[in-house]
Amino acid sequence: MVVSPLNRHLLVQLQVGQNAAGKPKLQNHAFQHVDVNATDAAVAQVLQALEPLFADTIYAMGRVDTVQIDPAASTSSSAGSTSASGTSTGTSTGTSTGTSIGTTSSTTALSGTSASSSGSGSATPVV
């Protein structure tokens, strides 16, 4: 299977309040057009530089990568395979999804956690 990076963006989730059950209300801020060749250390530095610019509490921050999977090069029945990992500080979550149309998107939480999933459709990794 051949995986080619298409694009990357940074995602910052802010906690803007709580609902009646005490669960956080979140607001997402995406920063588009990040170089797909940027290292995890460079991404972490940018995210840390953005932290003091927000008035609300940061709930999670990380990067979202979109890659193209060449189905002709795949030898199994699996349509997508993704993995995510990162390092930084704070409370963050990681998610991965795979689709059967030749592209997949992976959100990497920069919290020192690692997640991976594979298969067609969507999957939630063990974090």
Q: What count of other Cβ atoms lies within 10 Å of the Cβ of residue 33?
A: 8
Nearest of 10, 14, 11, 38 to residue 25 by alpha carbon: 14
pTM given for the model = 0.55
CA distance linking residue 46 with residue 44, whole number of Å = 5
How confident is the model at residue 70, as a pLDDT?
87
- Mean pLDDT in each 10-residue stretch from start to end of the chain (127 residues)? 92 96 96 94 94 94 93 58 41 39 46 36 40
How confident is the model at residue 44, as a pLDDT?
93
Burial group, residue 23, by CB count within 10 angstroms (0-12, 13-18, 19+)? exposed
CA distance linking residue 125 with residue 97, whole number of Å = 9
How confident is the model at residue 54, as a pLDDT?
95
